[in-house]
Structure 1
Amino acid sequence: MADPSPLIVTAALDDGAFAWFEDLRQSHFPRHRNKVPAHVTLFHALPGEHEDAVVETLRAACARRRPVQVDVRGPWFLGNGVAYRLASTDLEQLRAELAGAFAPWLTRQDQARYRPHITVQNKAEPDEARRLLEQLQLEFEPFPIFAEGLLLWRYLGGPWALVDRFAFDAA
């Protein structure tokens, strides 16, 4: 019987980008609440009982793609934290394609407008978040990163467990 725990789909960032954002997350996310690594979520909760179909869909979509440039646009205030806004037409097109394939299973959150971002602080006090935002804005200059594939995770009530990795491997 398939595990019914929800599945999460994120972009697999290039090593340098992942390390940079993970360092920020480790530095600024409240430790007792930081249960997952830095990530760019495409889908928050696909049904675990459809894991085989999700895997097949992700594998097929990734086989047709090359690494995707994602532009980091700057820090964004979340109220109780800070994230970096991202922009990528290619990533948004991929997400839209996958959303079509997963349409019967999408939660309200995953049906909403897609706003790609990487959260580096959340569940902090608003004043602490504002201070971090100001600090990060002072230092920020836009830069590109790359998504090299997709990661499939299983939600475990807080932490996530990696299920599989799918590389963008079109020749």
Structure 2
Amino acid sequence: MIDAPMILTLALDDSAQDFFNALRKEHFPVERNYLDAHLTLFHHLPPEETSIIESIEQVCEQYQQMQLQVTEVKSIGNGVAYQIVCTELMRMHKHLQQQWDTWLTPQDRQKLWPHVTIQNKVAPQQARLLKEQLAESFEPFTTEGTGLNLFAYQGGPWQFIKHHPFSV
């Protein structure tokens, strides 16, 4: 049984995951970088609600792999992220929000801003310089969301629970 809050992320195809992991490894503060790059959908799902896992399985059967547009490098104040655009992802997220409404934290009730953070918790000037550097050579690209990954929050590192692939 899971006894820690659960985190739900969008699984990215291997090439995008490798790309974002390499950037995160290079630019995220070493002492805080104990996670792979990720696109978080929900930050704090209650572990005691077993129907959440059933909902994840059902939604993954209903959705196919999603085309994701990586559109720009964005400043997040003390860090840098890549913005992701995908109508299908927004639709799926909204569906899950409605289904899980009574269990969601205020953060998880907000409209989703899909992104992958590659730097955070640095001085604003350092973040601004990296954003400018990455934006200079950035070309928008397309990748795929391949499913949903569920983790348990362990007070820092996340414990992987299960990958739920989208139907192909």
TM-score exceeds 0.5? yes
SS in structure 2 opposite 1:49? coil
Match of 1:79 in 2: 77
Measured in 2, the distance between the counterparts of 1:22 and 1:53 equals 31
Q: How far 1:21 sits from its partner (Å)? A: 0.4
Q: Paired residue for 1:152, among 117, 136, 150? A: 150
Measured in 2, the distance between the counterparts of 1:119 and 1:158 equals 16
Is 1:60 matched with 2:65? no
Aligned counterparts, 1:1-171, within 5 A:
2-50=1-49, 52-170=50-168
Q: How far 1:3 sits from its partner (Å)? A: 3.3
- The root-mean-square deviation of aligned C-alpha atoms, in Å, is 0.9
Measured against aligned partners, the alpha-carbon deviations of 1:59-114 in whole angstroms (never above 9, x if no partner) come to 00001111001100111111110001111000000101111111111100011121
TM-score under structure 2 length normalisation: 0.97
Measured in 2, the distance between the counterparts of 1:36 and 1:99 equals 25
- Say whether the 8 Å CA contact 2:2–2:152 is kept in structure 1: no
Measured against aligned partners, the alpha-carbon deviations of 1:11-52 in whole angstroms (never above 9, x if no partner) come to 0100000000000000000010112110011100001111x2
SS in structure 1 opposite 2:100? helix
TM-score under structure 1 length normalisation: 0.95
- Say whether the 8 Å CA contact 2:149–2:163 is kept in structure 1: yes
- Say whether the 8 Å CA contact 2:78–2:122 is kept in structure 1: yes
The residue identity in structure 2 corresponding to 1:53 is S
Percent of aligned positions that are identical: 41
Measured in 2, the distance between the counterparts of 1:56 and 1:89 equals 23
Which of structure 1's runs of 4+ aligned residues deviate more than 3 A?
none
Consecutive unaligned residues of structure 1, counting only runs of 5 or more, are none
